[in-house]
Amino acid sequence: MVLPQTRRSFRAPPHPRAERNPSPFPCLKAKVKKLGRRITVGEDKAYDTADHVTNLRAINVTPHVAQNDSITATGKCRRSAIDGRTTRHQGYGISQSCRAMTECIFGWGKQHGTMRKTKHRGIAAVAADFLLNLIAYNLIRIPKLVAA
C-alpha cells in the first residue's frame, strides 16, 4: 500500500509477503500438465517459506529456492524450508548458478544501463529499451567470451 506523498515523500513500508502474493501457480500448473512430469522452478531467498514450498510441491513442482538460513537481527538462525531432498541433487546447484547469472544481467542493466528508471511509456518502448540493454550487455561480454 502506498500512501499519498507528503513534502517528506513518506511511503508505507511494503508488506513482508507482498512479493510472493501474485502467485504464478496457474502458469506452473499448466506447464506441469503440458509436460506430464515434475518441473523445477528457481527463486530467490524471499520465497524460502514453508507455505510457498509446500504449495509448489503440492502441484508437482520442485522448488529450487535459495536457502534463507542467515542470522536474524536478534541472533537467531533462520530455518530454511528447503531441505536435503532438494539440495543434495546436482540440478539444484546448476539452477542456483543459472539464477545468479540471470541476476547479474539485471544488476548490470540497473547499474550501468537504463533499467533503473525507465524514461518511456508504453510496452513497446519499454521493451525496446530493455532489448537495447541486453544487446549492450552482450557486446560487453563478447571480449570475455572470445578470450575464454
Going by C-alpha positions, the residue among 23, 19, 103, 31 that lies closest to residue 60 is 31
Asked if the model's pLDDT at residue 15 lies above 70, the reply is no
Q: How far apart are CA 128 and CA 6, in angstroms?
A: 34
For residue 18, the model assigns a pLDDT of 57
Considering the chain, what is the average pLDDT of its residues? 82
% of the chain residues with pLDDT over 90 = 17
If DSSP states are collapsed to H, E and C, what string results for 120-143? CCCHHHHHHHHHHHHHHHHHHHHH
Angle, helices 25-35/50-58, rounded to nearest 10 degrees: 30
Question: Rounded distance, CA 110 to CA 98, Å?
Answer: 19
Query: How much is the pLDDT for 126?
Result: 93
What tens digit of pLDDT does each residue of 100-119 get? 888 888 899 999 988 888 88
pLDDT at 123: 94
Q: How far is it, in rounded angstroms, from Cα 106 to Cα 115? A: 8
Q: Say if residue 27's pLDDT is above 50.
A: yes
What's the pLDDT tens digit per position in 91-103? Answer: 888 988 888 888 8
Best CA proximity match to 56, nearest among 32, 34, 35:
32
pTM above 0.85, yes or no: no
What pLDDT is attached to residue 3?
Answer: 40
